[in-house]
């Protein structure tokens, strides 16, 4: 990996603001982070966007793909029907080794399925998980699974814990990442049957540093580095958090319009409010990771603008550079037992 220049395949057609914001963000990210690009999609649409922006110093190539999977399509069905979908072609670029990472802002389900079918899993990993780095005041927490597997076996959580620990250690520089089991109380024995089965497996799993149960609030207070849960619970936690922040932000905005003092406060505090908003903005974090796929995959928010894609390129580059996947493979080979299959 060391000397080969890094190249990232970007699905230029996926996302609410594709292709414009995607192409712009990819070019900005490639320039800032010094990586090459494969821009995948309808060539004329991509070229039209490229013509509008400065891209002379960026090493890119356009990879044609004639179809696009829409946000509301059923992932597996869409994949069967649209063999030449941009996200599929982009995943194949990674499989062939032309790129080392994939960035996609379209349907999460479609990107997941495209990666799974076209790139495949890391040997020994039963199911890939979606990992999301959450905003916080101090130390960020990686939540996984944030939605890839609605139903999980307790054993799967040990693999999530391993992958998450390796990611946080290598990309965020966290020594001995603290792994917590997302639960509804801190004491052992709390929670439902599923977490009660998972608890002893995590406790006895040597490669990780398990600190016990954590609660929803701990995801955002720096109390844990890696929080593991089934994909249903993780997705509900994530979307509830997004929803309440949006609501709270709107309430503050409304209150700051009520009196002239409040209006003046808003004007004076504008940049502080913008900073606060940016610090919790999913676009700032660049997107979710598909951990367990045998190629770096970053899935950006469907509503991503150029900044979100630019940051997704940063996230992908970080995972490639630190060889997160290689380290996961190595750990699996050295002792992690696969639970479902050989």
Summarize as ranges the residues that interact with a copy of itself (CB under 8 A): 135-137, 147, 150-151, 182, 184, 190-193, 195, 215-221, 229-233, 235-252, 254-256, 258-259, 261-262, 264-269, 271-273, 275-276, 279-280
Select 77 or 338, whichever has its Cβ closest to a copy of itself: 77
CB atoms within 10 A of CB 192: 11
Q: Read off φ and ψ for residue 64, nearest 5 degrees.
A: -70, 140
- Least distance between a copy of itself and beta carbon 132 (Å): 12
- Least distance between a copy of itself and beta carbon 267 (Å): 8
Q: How far apart are the C-alpha atoms of 285 and 262, rounded to whole Å?
A: 31
Select 1 or 262, whichever has its Cβ closest to a copy of itself: 262
Q: Which of 50, 107, 103 is nearest to 82 (CA)?
A: 107
Select 117 or 220, whichever has its Cβ closest to a copy of itself: 220
Q: How far apart are the C-alpha atoms of 282 and 277, rounded to whole Å?
A: 10
Strand duo 226-228 + 178-182: pairing: parallel
Token readout for 268 is 């004076």
- Least distance between a copy of itself and beta carbon 25 (Å): 24
CB atoms within 10 A of CB 260: 7
Q: How far apart are the C-alpha atoms of 249 and 80, rounded to whole Å?
A: 41
- Least distance between a copy of itself and beta carbon 64 (Å): 31
Q: How far apart are the C-alpha atoms of 103 and 98, rounded to whole Å?
A: 14
Select 66 or 265, whichever has its Cβ closest to a copy of itself: 265
- Least distance between a copy of itself and beta carbon 66 (Å): 27
Q: Are 294 and 288 in contact (CB under 8 A)?
A: no
- Least distance between a copy of itself and beta carbon 282 (Å): 12
Select 38 or 304, whichever has its Cβ closest to a copy of itself: 304
Select 53 or 254, whichever has its Cβ closest to a copy of itself: 254
- Count of residues in the chain: 342
Residue 96: strand, helix, or coil: coil
């Amino acid at each position: 990996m060391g000397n080969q220049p890094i190249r990232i395949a970007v699905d230029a057609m996926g996302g609410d603001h594709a292709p414009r914001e995607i192409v712009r963000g990819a070019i900005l990210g490639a320039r800032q982070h010094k990586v090459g690009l494969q821009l995948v999609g309808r060539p004329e649409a991509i070229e039209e966007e490229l013509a509008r922006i400065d891209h002379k110093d960026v090493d890119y190539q356009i990879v044609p793909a004639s179809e696009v999977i829409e946000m509301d399509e059923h992932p597996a069905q869409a994949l069967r029907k649209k063999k030449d979908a941009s996200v599929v072609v982009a995943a194949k670029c990674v499989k062939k080794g032309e790129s080392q990472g994939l960035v996609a802002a379209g349907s999460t389900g479609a990107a997941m399925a495209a990666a799974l079918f076209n790139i495949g899993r890391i040997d020994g990993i039963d199911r890939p998980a979606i990992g999301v780095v959450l905003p916080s005041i101090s130390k960020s927490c990686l939540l996984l699974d944030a939605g890839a597997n609605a139903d999980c076996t307790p054993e799967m959580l040990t693999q999530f814990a391993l992958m998450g620990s390796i990611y946080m250690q290598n990309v965020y520089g966290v020594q001995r990442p603290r792994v917590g089991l997302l639960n509804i109380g801190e004491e052992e024995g709390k929670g439902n049957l599923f977490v009660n089965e998972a608890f002893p497996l995590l406790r006895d799993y040597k490669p990780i540093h398990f600190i016990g149960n954590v609660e929803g609030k701990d995801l955002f207070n720096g109390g844990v580095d890696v929080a593991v849960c089934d994909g249903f619970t993780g997705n509900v936690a994530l979307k509830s958090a997004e929803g309440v922040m949006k609501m709270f932000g709107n309430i503050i905005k409304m209150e700051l319009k009520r009196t002239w003092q409040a209006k003046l406060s808003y004007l004076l505090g504008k940049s502080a409010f913008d900073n606060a908003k940016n610090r919790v903005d999913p676009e700032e974090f660049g997107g979710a990771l598909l951990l367990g796929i045998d190629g770096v995959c970053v899935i950006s928010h469907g509503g991503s603008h150029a900044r979100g894609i630019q940051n997704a390129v940063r996230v992908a580059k970080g995972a490639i550079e630190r060889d997160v996947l290689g380290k996961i493979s190595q750990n699996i080979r050295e002792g992690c037992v696969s639970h479902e299959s050989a």
